[in-house]
Amino acid sequence: MQSTVNYLWHTDDLLGQGATASVYKARNKKSGELVAVKVFNTASYLRPREVQVREFEVLRKLNHQNIVKLFAVEETGVSRQKVLVMEYCSGGSLLSVLESPENAFGLPEDEFLVVLRCVVAGMNHLRENSIVHRDIKPGNIMRLMGEEGQSIYKLTDFGAARELDDDEKFVSVYGTEEYLHPDMYERAVLRKPQQKTFGVTVDLWSIGVTLYHAATGSLPFVPFGGPRRNKEMMYRITTEKPAGAIAGTQKRENGPLEWSYTLPITCRLSTGLQSQLVPILANILEVEQAKCWGFDQFFAETSDILQRVVVHVFSLSQAALHRVYIHAHNTIAIFLEAVYEQTSVAPQNQEYLFEGHICFLEPSLSAQHIAHTTASSPLTLFSMASETPKGLAFRDPAQDIPKFFPKVDLQADYSTAKSVLGAGYQALWLAGALLAGQELMLRGLYWFVETLQATCRRTLEVTRMTLLFLSSSLGTERFSSVAGMPEMQELKRITELRSKLRALAEALSRCSHNITETQTSLSNLSSELMKNRDQVHADRSIQQVQCCLDKMNLIYKQFKKSRMRPGLGYNEEQIHKLDKVNFGHLAKRLLQVFQEKCVQRYQTSLVTHGKWMREVHDTRNHLRMVSCSVAAFNTEAQGAQESLSKILDQLSHQLLQDRTKEAQVSATPTAPHPSPALMDLVL
C-alpha cells in the first residue's frame, strides 16, 4: 500500500503507466471516494523544473466537464514523490473501448457522436485557454458513465501540454508514434535532424487519427508489418498522402500504397454522417501546416454536424435505411434535397408515410414540422419511379476471420481469438440490421398497400354513386311520341343522350368490377405481407449468433488471462488446445447461421420485395388510370344529364304553352275544330 495525507492505494490497482509516472485507483481516507492518483517516478525529476510543474499549472487553469478534474497535489509519505489526485473514470479509456471485440470495426454511430461532441468541447476549452495538448490519442481520452447511463469522455494526461497561442511555435517533441504529426514523427521516431517548428495544428492531426480510429476500429495509415515495425514506410505514407485522402495502406512487402478517400464498408456510421465527417478528416489530416485547417474552421465544421438533427428515412424502393442530417431551422425543401443526395429520388418523386399514414411535407415549412423518427420508426419513402431494391451493402465477416496457428502460442492465440470474436460481433450487428431491414420492407409495403386499398374504396364509392344516379335517370321517361306525329329534333337529341348515358353506365360498371378485382388482389398481397412479418418476428437467428458469441467470449477471456503467463503446464496446455478447437467450431457455427439464416433469407426477401414493389407500382398506375377514367366518366355523365334535363325542361315549357293555347282556342265558340295535342305528359 502507498498513501499521501488524504489518499491511499494498492500498487496492484494500476490503471496506466508511462515513462515518467504511473496512475493508480485510490480512495479518500475519510469518505472512501474513488479517485485516480498519478505518481511521478524518479525519471520525471530529471526533467527541467518548469517542465515538472507544467502539468500542475495547466490542470489548475482548466475547468471543464470534458477534461479530467484535478482535486489536489500531494506527496507520498516516505519518498516524497509528487502525486496528482484526479477524477476517477470507471469506464476506462477510449482505447480500451476500441480494443473491445464488440468495437473491432468502429463505434456505433450514436457513441461516435458522443466522442466527437466531448472531444470538440474539451479541445475548445483548451484553445480558449491557449493550451496545446500534444498527446491526443484514444488512450488519453477517458470514459465516465453519467447518472443516466450515458458516456462522458474527458481529455486527460497533460504531461506534454503547455501554453501556446495560435501564432506561436514550439520545437520540443512529444506524443505517441501512430498519432504524431509527420513533421514531429520525422524527428522523434526516425531521429532525423531538422529545424522545423510546430504549431497548435499538430493537435488537429492527432484528433484526425483518433476520430478515424474511433469510426473504423483501425488506424488510417498502416504500412506492411505495422506502424511500429516499418517506420520509414509509415512516414512515407503520411507525407505522400494525396489531397483528399483519409487513409493509406501497404498490403504486401514492398507493395504499392493504396489510398482511400472514403471510410471502409465495415464502418458502422451512416452515409449521412460519413458525408459530413470525411471532408473534416481530409482537411485536418493534411501534412502541410499551411494547407491544414485551423482550429476555428475545425470547430465551426464539427459544431455544424453536432447541431444537426437526424431524420431517419427508409427507402422502400431501395430497401435501405438512411440517416439524414439537417438543421432544425432548415426548410423541408432542404430536407427533400438532402434525401435526394442520398437516395437519388428527386423531390417531386418523393412520397412519405409515417406510422401507416400519408405524410404530406410542405417544402416551404420548417423542418421542425417533420415527425420525430427513430431507426425502428422512420419516415417511409416511396418513389414514383420503379427501381430494383439494392438493400444493405456489407462485407462478409468471414473475410476478416484469421486461422489459428497449429502450435500453442499464447500471444498469437489471443490475437487470433480477438480478431475472430470481432468478426463475430460484426456478424451479430449485421444480422440485426438485416432483420430490421426485412421488417421495415414488409411493414412499409403493407402500409402502402393499405393506402391503395383506401384509394380503391374511395374510387369505388364514387363509381357506385354515379351508377346509382344514372340508373335513376335512365329508369323513367318524361316524354313519349304521339302516334302519327313526326318526331321533333329535340326527341332525337334526347335519344342520343340517353344512349350515351347507358354507355357511360356500362363503362362505369366495368370500372367497378375492375376496382373490385384490384381490391381482391391487394387483400391477398396484404395477407402475404402479414404472413411474412410473422415469420420475421419468429426469427431466432440473432439469438443463435449471440449464443455462439457468449461461449466464444468465455474462451477469449481465458486466452486473455493466459497470454500474461510465461507458459502453461501440460494439463493446462491440453485444455488450451481443446479451447482452440471449440472456439473454431463455434466460429464456424456462427458463420453458418449468419450465412444460411440471415444473409440468404435477407437476399430472398429482397427478391420478393422487388417483385411485390413492381406489382404495387403497376397496381398504383392502374388505379390512377381507372380513377381518372371514373372521374372523366362522372364528369361526362353529369354533362349529358344536364343537357338532357335542359332539353326536357324546354319541352315541358313548350308543352305547357301549347296546352294553354289549346285551352284558349277550345273555349272560343267559333272554333269548329280544336287543335290536337302534340305530346302527352307522362308522370
DSSP-derived 3-state class of residue 132:
strand
Per residue in 523-537, pLDDT tens? 999 999 999 999 999
Distances (CA, A) of 376 to 135, 198, 380, 438, 447: 40, 48, 11, 12, 15
Give pLDDT, residue 415.
94
Phi, psi of 596 (to 5 degrees): -80, -35
Query: CA-CA distances (angstroms) from residue 629 to 32, 246, 472, 512, 639?
Result: 82, 57, 21, 11, 15
List, for residues 578-614, the tens digit of each pLDDT value. Answer: 999 999 999 999 999 999 999 999 999 999 999 999 9
| CA–CA dist 396, 374 (Å, integer) | 27
Write out the three cell numbers for 344: 437519388
Instruction: Kindly tell me the burial class for residue 151, based on how many C-beta atoms sit within 10 Å of its own C-beta (0-12, 13-18, 19 or more).
Output: middle
Q: How far apart are CA 539 and CA 431, in angstroms?
A: 11
Residue 682 confidence (pLDDT) above 50: no
Please determine, for residue 469, whether its predicted confidence score (pLDDT) is greater than 90.
no
CB-based contact 256:95 (threshold 8 Å): no
Cell numbers that stand for 404 in this block: 489459428
Beta bridge partners of 312: 323
Q: What pLDDT does 475 receive?
A: 60
Q: Residue 106: phi, psi to the nearest 5?
A: 105, 165
State residue 485's pLDDT score. Answer: 37
Residue 135 is among the residues annotated as catalytic for this protein: yes
C-alpha cell at 631: 372521374
Q: How far, in Å, CA of 400 to CA of 430, rounded?
A: 14
Q: What is the pLDDT of residue 172?
A: 62
Give the whole-angstrom CA distance, residue 217 versus residue 187: 28
Q: What pLDDT is stored for residue 571 in this prediction?
A: 93
Written as one letter, the residue type at 118 is C
pLDDT in tens, 609-653: 999 999 999 999 999 999 888 888 888 877 777 777 777 777 777
**Domains (ranges, CATH) in the chain?**
2-87 (3.30.200.20), 94-303 (1.10.510.10), 310-383 (3.10.20.90), 410-475+512-629 (1.20.1270.420)
Dist. CA 469–CA 472, nearest whole Å: 5
Does residue 324 carry a pLDDT above 80?
A: yes
Residue with the bigger pLDDT between 276 and 76: it is 276
pLDDT at residue 507, as a whole number? 87
**At 675, which helix (H) or strand (E)?**
none
Count of Cβ atoms closer than 10 Å to residue 480 Cβ: 11
- Range ranked top by mean pLDDT from 148-157, 184-193, 499-508: 148-157
CA 126 to chain centre: 32
| Confidence label for 678 from pLDDT (cuts 50, 70 and 90) | very low
DSSP state of 378: P
Residue 634 is classified by DSSP as H
pLDDT of residue 8 exceeding 90, the answer is yes
Q: How far apart are CA 245 and CA 268, in angstroms?
A: 20
Flag whether 25 is marked binding: no
Neighbours of 483 (CB within 10 A): 5
Model pLDDT, residue 173: 62
Q: For residue 585, give every residue at least 6 positions away whose Cβ sits within 8 Å of its Cβ, in sequence order, or none.
A: none
pLDDT at 648: 73
Report which of 406, 452, 410, 461 is spatially closest to residue 631, judged by C-alpha positions: 461
Helix (H/G/I), strand (E/B), else coil: 669: coil
pLDDT tens readout for residues 219-250: 999 999 888 889 999 999 999 999 999 999 99
> What is the C-alpha to C-alpha distance for residues 128 and 164, in angstroms, rounded to an integer?
11
Average pLDDT for the chain: 88
- pLDDT value at residue 547: 97
Contact residues for 53 (Cβ-Cβ < 8 A; gap 6+): none
Stretch 57-64: mean pLDDT: 91
> Whole-prediction pTM value?
0.88
Tally of residues, the chain: 683
Instruction: State mean pLDDT over 647-676.
Output: 67
Residue 645: predicted pLDDT = 77
Confidence of residue 396 (pLDDT cuts 50, 70, 90): very high
Which of 12, 135, 534, 680 does the annotation list as catalytic?
135
| pLDDT value at 481 more than 50 | no
Beta bridge partners of 75: 82
Distance CA 420, CA 589 (A): 13
Average pLDDT over residues 498-520: 88
Residue-level pLDDT at 669: 55
Q: Which residue has the higher pLDDT, 51 or 633?
A: 633
pLDDT for 132 beyond 50: yes
Reduce the secondary structure of 193-236 to three states and give it as a string: CCCCCECCCHHHHHHHHHHHHHHHCCCCEECCCCCCCCHHHHHH
pLDDT, greater one: 74 or 274: 274
Grid cell locating 142:
477517458
Lowest-confidence pick of 183-187, 189-193, 363-367, 459-463: 189-193
